[in-house]
Amino acid sequence: MPHFVILIHGGPGDPAPDDLAAHDAHAQDLIGSGALVAAFAFGPTDEVVRIDADGPAPGAAGATALDGVGVVEADDLDAAVAIARANPAAVQGGFVEVRPVLGSWVRGGGSDGSAHGVPSAS
C-alpha cells in the first residue's frame, strides 16, 4: 500500500494542553485504524539548528515551524488527504501538508525497492 508523509505545522506560540490532547487522540485513532506507520513530534523551535552553505546557524528556515511528521498508509492521495484533514493542527491555527513517498528505507525493515536516492538495505 502506498505511503504518504503528513507534515504538521502548528500555529503560533506553544500549544495548550487541550491542543496536545487532541493530537494524542488523533494519533490513537490512526493507530487503531492501522493507517499510522510512524509519527514524530519535534522539539521547540528555539533549539533548531539550520545548516546551509554558510554552515550551522540557529533558527528554523521558514516562517512556520515544522512541529511533526506522520507516515500513513493509504490507498491513494485522496485517502491520505482525508486522513490529514482530521489532523488537529488544521483547526488550531496551523496547517498540514501531504506528500507521497517515492522511496523508503527503514533500519531493520529494509527498502521498498524503489530507486530514488534511498540507501540500499545492505
Q: Which residue is it, cell 515551524?
A: 65
Strands 110-111 and 105-106: antiparallel
Q: What is the pLDDT at residue 115? A: 42
Lowest mean pLDDT among 3-7, 31-35, 43-47: 43-47
The pTM for the full model equals 0.81
CATH level 2 (architecture), domain 3-111? 2-Layer Sandwich (3.30)
Cβ proximity of 9 and 98 under 8 Å:
no
Q: Average pLDDT over the chain, rounded to whole?
A: 85
Q: What is the pLDDT at residue 117? A: 46
Q: State pLDDT tens for residues 39-85.
A: 999 888 778 888 889 888 887 666 567 889 999 999 999 999 999 99
CA angle 30, 31, 34 (to 5 degrees): 85
Mean pLDDT calculated for residue range 23-36: 95
